[in-house]
Amino acid sequence: MKILVVCLGNICRSPLGEAILQQKAKEHGLNWQVDSAGTNGFHTGEPPHSMSQKVAALNGLDISGQRSRKFISEDFFRYDKIYAMANDVLYDMKRIGGPTFDDSKAELFLDQLLPGRNMDVPDPWSGPEEGYHDVFKLIDQAAEAIVHSYIVQ
């Protein structure tokens, strides 16, 4: 299974989502390839935000080797499932995807954890370190729910 996690800039939320979801899939014996991207492309080629790297490292994950890339319409052909970190990101995915947008593949990241609530993972960018810890915990819980949803199928 190939999964893509998408946020706005691909430097805060989606790099954490990529690493956490990949780790949980591995722990549960799932053969998944997890990647991440951003809809705005402002940070293409850059590593994750220093606070995302710090919080990941404090939780045993090294995301320093990740590099931001822009989400493109062809991603709907390359991935089996694409998780958007927020509603505005999902909207941008529809706009970028155009006729290739596949509603059956796109979903909000928090939908498995909080079904029907259409909730966003808050963007911690430019905020205090505490926000990055809160986002890590939320992404971790949602990633566990996502993995569990595939185990029980």
Q: Which residues are catalytic?
A: 7, 13, 123
H or E element in which residue 17 lies: helix 13-27
| 72 CA to centre of own chain | 15
**Which residues neighbour 42 within 8 Å (Cβ) at sequence distance 6 or greater?**
9
- Give the CA distances from residue 132 to residues 30, 55, 74, 83, 90, in Å, rounded to whole numbers and listed in that order: 27, 7, 30, 19, 21
Q: Letter for the amino acid at 74?
A: E
**Is 102:78 a contact under the CB 8 Å cutoff?**
no
In angstroms, the CA 81 to CA 107 distance is 8
H or E element in which residue 54 lies: helix 50-58
